[in-house]
């Protein structure tokens, strides 16, 4: 009986170890440095961002999936979301404001660059690639959430050779919806703007949410401890925001059913 219990205990420990996030995680200092460096809004990052937006806009404009994927791979937008998630979990609100503001600037520059391109482009008709970014549903929520999980797990590993982020960048597709917003504004397609904007919000929010969950599990050091009342208020806001953002996507899935 004891031997059987010991075997069960050993199997349980092996299973826990197999899925343990702390088993090969980097140090807290290294995680902080990686995430905050990735979220810097520097001259280099902004130049790369504009280049990525123009490349993605061309790909969407001519219907080239390969070009769109290339633009997603070089886009630095993911870094700002992960840095914001780190700041939120560590309760460093000045840092959160800084990265949220930087992300807002990146969004504004991205949409402006795409809008200028589509104003100058002789091809005005929306391609299949553009239209594909205007009808988000709950499957996009799942992609963003699990893509975000994979991304933050990859960024917090001890091994610096991260092969996860490129795949996450392609799967979660932050860049194409913003380009579609630029197209919509340039061509007065406000119906497309609503769908593309909502897809971008879904991707951004659920990457942020999943990153926050993993960083909380890893027990990232906090700048200041919150009271139980403050934690309850924070959890309530998170649940409320998640429901509000997800509801239209769930309705969209049901509208697709015969």
The angle at the Cα of 40, spanning 98 to 32, to the nearest 5 degrees, equals: 85
Q: What is the CATH number of the domain that holds 173?
A: 1.20.1080
- 56 occurs within a structural domain: yes
- 39 occurs within a structural domain: yes
- 9 occurs within a structural domain: no
- The per-residue pLDDT for 15 is 56
- The per-residue pLDDT for 14 is 60
- 231 occurs within a structural domain: yes
- The per-residue pLDDT for 11 is 63
H-only helix segments in 90-227: 93-120, 128-131, 138-155, 164-172, 175-187, 190-217
- The per-residue pLDDT for 13 is 65
b/e per residue 81-98 (b: at least 16 CB within 10 A): bbbbbbbbbbbbeebbeb
Question: Are the CB atoms for 152 and 215 separated by under 8 Å?
Answer: yes
Question: Are the CB atoms for 182 and 112 separated by under 8 Å?
Answer: yes
Domain tally for the chain?
1
What are 164-223's pLDDT values in tens digits? 666 666 666 788 899 999 999 999 999 899 999 999 999 999 999 999 999 988 888 888
Lowest mean pLDDT among 19-33, 65-79, 110-124, 227-241: 19-33
- 20 occurs within a structural domain: no
- 35 occurs within a structural domain: yes
| Rounded-to-integer distance, Cα 7 and Cα 9, Å | 5
Question: Are the CB atoms for 215 and 100 separated by under 8 Å?
Answer: no
What are 7-30's pLDDT values in tens digits? 555 766 665 666 566 667 778 888
Cβ atoms within 10 Å of 136's Cβ, excluding its own: 24
- 2 occurs within a structural domain: no
Domain holding 38, by residue range, is 25-256
- 30 occurs within a structural domain: yes
């Amino acid at each position: 009986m004891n031997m059987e219990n010991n075997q069960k205990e050993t199997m349980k420990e092996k299973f826990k170890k197999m899925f343990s996030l702390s088993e090969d995680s980097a140090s807290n200092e290294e995680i902080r440095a990686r995430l905050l460096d990735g979220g810097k809004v520097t001259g280099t990052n902004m130049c790369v961002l504009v280049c990525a937006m123009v490349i993605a806009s061309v790909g969407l404009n001519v219907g080239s999936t390969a070009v769109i994927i290339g633009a997603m791979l070089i886009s630095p937008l993911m870094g700002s979301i992960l840095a914001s998630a780190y700041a939120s979990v560590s309760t460093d609100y000045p840092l959160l404001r800084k990265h949220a503001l930087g992300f807002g600037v990146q969004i504004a520059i991205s949409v402006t660059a795409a809008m200028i391109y589509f104003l100058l482009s002789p091809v005005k008709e929306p391609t299949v690639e553009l239209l594909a970014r205007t009808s988000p549903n709950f499957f996009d929520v799942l992609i963003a959430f699990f893509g975000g999980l994979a991304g933050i797990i990859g960024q917090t590993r001890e091994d610096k050779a991260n092969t996860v982020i490129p795949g996450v960048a392609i799967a979660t597709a932050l860049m194409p919806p913003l380009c579609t917003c630029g197209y919509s504004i340039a061509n007065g397609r406000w119906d497309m703007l609503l769908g593309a904007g909502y897809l971008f919000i879904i991707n951004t929010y659920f990457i942020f949410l999943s990153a926050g969950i993993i960083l909380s599990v890893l027990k990232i050091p906090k700048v200041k401890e919150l009271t139980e009342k403050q934690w309850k208020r924070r959890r309530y806001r998170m649940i409320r925001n998640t429901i509000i953002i997800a509801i239209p996507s769930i309705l969209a899935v049901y509208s697709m059913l015969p």
